[in-house]
Amino acid sequence: MLSLTLLSGCSTIQIIYNQADEVLYWWLDGYVDLTDKQKPLAKEMLRNLHQWHRQTQLPEYVLLLQKIRTQISKDIQPEQACSVIAEVQESLIAVLQHIEPEAGQFITQLKPEQLQNIRKKQEKLNKEWREDYLDVGDEKRLRQRTKQSLSRLEDFYGKLDAPQREVLKQWLSKSSFVPATSYEERLRRQNDAVQTFSRISQGNLSSVAAQTQLRAWVERSFFPPDEAFQKYSQALKQENCEGFAKLHNSTTRAQRERLAENLRNYENIFQNLVLKK
């Protein structure tokens, strides 16, 4: 259920998805500054990924949304929310694994200065992250997180009343989220990415070896090797599942019906996108 926050407006999804390969191309170019030689390879890689995703992943999204709709008319348990998160994660991993062969070939062409471009982009985004979560007081951070969460939840449920807002506030105020810990892991993942890309681009690796490096990197990204962070991450996940379940269970029949209708709209959008080739 927490994956609801990943969804954008209905019309926005249709527009962006139909142009997803072009959007991703400009995003990639913004990160590495593609050379003329790399541009055709990047476009072909993303075009193939887009076609595969439309044919194989969108139907899975429809099934997931249908599964959620069968649950939300009643109270839910934290385990149900966590189950949805796990399915979303599996879907993301499947996408990254599918693109491994072409991504490995593309990364072998990256130059040192392009890896430096990635570093600079990371530093810019890190500055913004620190401003939002690390370099602010506890009260301001809580207000920001509450405001963001409230906005997304009300997009789906409609306006939350005062007691429901209090449930959300209590959920977030009791969170074990530690900005410094999350930021440290953010830096680890970024460094791991650049180091992995550097080994592939400068190591004269075979296509199989490059894919092996990429698969190991994806594994470390989703399942961090540090045991202490694993426990911290699992605690946050469990808190969020419990918090969402408690909030959902406080909603009215009308709010749940509105949520179901919103999810049905997304189902229709994804079904239509599958048919549009």
Percent of the chain scoring above 90 in pLDDT? 91
Q: Is the pLDDT of residue 5 over 50?
A: no
Domains of the chain by residue range: 2-275
pLDDT tens-digit readout, 241-264:
999 999 999 999 999 999 999 999
pLDDT band at 2 (very low <50, low <70, confident <90, very high): very low
Percent of the chain scoring above 70 in pLDDT? 95
Task: Please name which of 91, 144, 117 lies closest in space to residue 201, comparing C-alpha atoms.
Answer: 117
pLDDT tens-digit readout, 60-80:
999 999 999 999 999 999 999
In this structure, what token pair is assigned to residue 24? 């991703």
Distance CA(20)–CA(58), nearest Å, equals 13
Instruction: Map tokens 């509105």 to a residue.
Output: 258
- DSSP of 80-135: HHHHHHHHHHHHHHHHHHHTHHHHHHHHTT--HHHHHHHHHHHHHHHHHHIIIIIS
Q: Is the pLDDT of residue 9 over 70?
A: no
Predicted TM-score (pTM) of the model is 0.89
Distance CA(64)–CA(66), nearest Å, equals 5
